[in-house]
Amino acid sequence: MQTKTMSPPGLPVLLLLLFFIATATAAATAAADNDAKRDDQRAPKSQSCNNPFQLVKVENWIDGVEGRIYNGVTARFGSLLPEKPENSVRTPAIFSNPVDCCSNSTSKLSGSVALCIRGGCDFTVKAEFAQAGGATGMLVINDAEDLFEMVCSNSSEANISIPVVMITKSAGEGLNNSLISGRKVEILLYAPPRPLVDFSVAFLWLMSVGTIVCASLWSDFTSPEKSDERYNELCPKESSIAETARDDFDKEIVHIDSKGAIIFVIAASTFLVLLFFFMSSWFVWVLIVLFCIGGIEGMHNCIVSLTVRKGRSCGQKTVSVPLFGETSIFSLVVLLFCVTFAVFWAATRQESYSWIGQDILGICLMITVLQLARLPNIKVATVLLCCAFVYDIFWVFISPVIFHESVMIAVARGDKAGGEAIPMLLRFPRLFDPWGGYDMIGFGDILFPGLLVSFAHRFDKDNGRGASNGYFLWLVIGYGIGLVFTYLGLYLMNGNGQPALLYLVPCTLGVTVILGCIRGELKNLWNYGTDPSLSTEHSEV
């Protein structure tokens, strides 16, 4: 009887489904967290209504005791705020009467920051009445738990000379509770700038490049070495588990063809549009559950394959498990650990440290997917990556023309998901940013180029190529440079989401084609695996 590792039926279908969801929902968004919803594409601008948006720190004191610091965002109009708190002035806060600031206030606003609720009239009208009442600034309380960038409603000049800031609903309720209890509330507003580059980008770069390298070299880490052949002859029982698992895994490999690549991208676009229109918190929960299942299988596969390879004594003791038959106890223990890990992440996904678990599960998932899905040659790679290239650019840059906002960014950001975020991305916190948040990259921006890099490694290995005369090393370097260009574009465009494949495809597929032309091997790469005279590929994981 053969001893098996724990592996549920339909593994390729499940993980490739997750590959589909990941690339459909987050393939283009190597974007940083945005702290405000933007409605600035079609808004009229004038000389007095063209200010840059500033993220604002709203410090407050209740009867002289410092309270919680809230976040806000300035309007397109009004005066700009200083970058440092010492250059700002601590000012009393008071609610306008009426509270929507749509008419002259009966409350004395002179020398105070006026508090107003959103709605009732245009933002510029509110600011004009607050300024006419002598207010030194205005805080607009949003009706939701996000920040909305306030713009002018028409192209006329907005003669506003006081700062106008929007805060969230919960921040407004906190200030309101203090005011209605009769306590004195003082406000200090300032806008510390974000650093041009945060070191989190370097860590995210290392994780992305490292994932592709590990996935490409995984077979080298886990397959038996030639020096072990004599040991395996002497100890066949101890090596049978690894060999059986290896044989089972070989049978599950899916080779992508040109037709499948085109259908995949078309289906991904359809799925993305459905998500855009019907996204909700329950649907994100479905994605979270699928991510956990895939992460569990990926993590289990990574741990077992490495451990069984390095520790020959592991997996000798077995137990009979329904549906799986005779199964290694070690594999079962690892599976329980992985399930516990994923459940803990799901339960604590809103905590500040949850990015660690998400990244571990995601990296293990992507390594496993890149073992299951393979590109046979550069012909299929060209079809897949070119379709993904157009797909990424269209849904990030062109879709706002049709849908009035970027479909890819709206879905990846989870605007309609009730605060739940799609988990199919790697995150790393901004360590030196006063505003916090995360830099992130979608799984698709790793999986699509990773398929090509993995092919390059197999090609080099099958043809006895070294680092310098092969393709793998140059594609890894190209991918790393493409990520640098991605984040350079992100910062040059003021944090707006970027279609990462716009930079990654030319730096990987383009490098492959150029090297193939220079070396006279493009025909070999193009038809590899289809003509026996051009291929020496054999079944290796």
Q: Which residues are part of the catalytic machinery?
A: 392, 445
Sort strands 70-74 and 65-66 into parallel, antiparallel or unpaired: unpaired
Residue 238 CB-half CA count within 13 A: 17
Count of CB atoms situated within 10 Å of the CB of 319: 11
- Reduced to 3 states (helix: H, G, I; strand: E, B; else coil), residue 149 is coil
Helix (H) or strand (E) holding 39: none
| CB atoms near residue 500 (< 10 Å) | 30
At 367, which amino acid appears? I
Cα torsion 64, 434, 26, 360: sign: negative
Distances (CA, A) of 382 to 208, 230, 508: 21, 43, 11
Tokens of 294: 């895939």
For residues 92 and 184, the answer to whether their CB atoms sit within 8 Å is yes
CA atoms of 225 and 505, how far apart (whole Å): 34
Between CA 10 and CA 33 the distance in angstroms is 35
441-450 burial: b if 16+ Cβ within 10 Å, else e: bbbbbbbbbb
Q: For residues 407 and 428, what is the distance between their CA atoms, to the nearest angstrom?
A: 23
The DSSP H or E segment spanning 441 is strand 438-442
Residue-wise DSSP of 348-413:
TTTSTTHHHHHHHHHHHHHHHHHHHEE--SHHHHHHHHHHHHHHHHIIIIIHHHHHSS-HHHHHHH
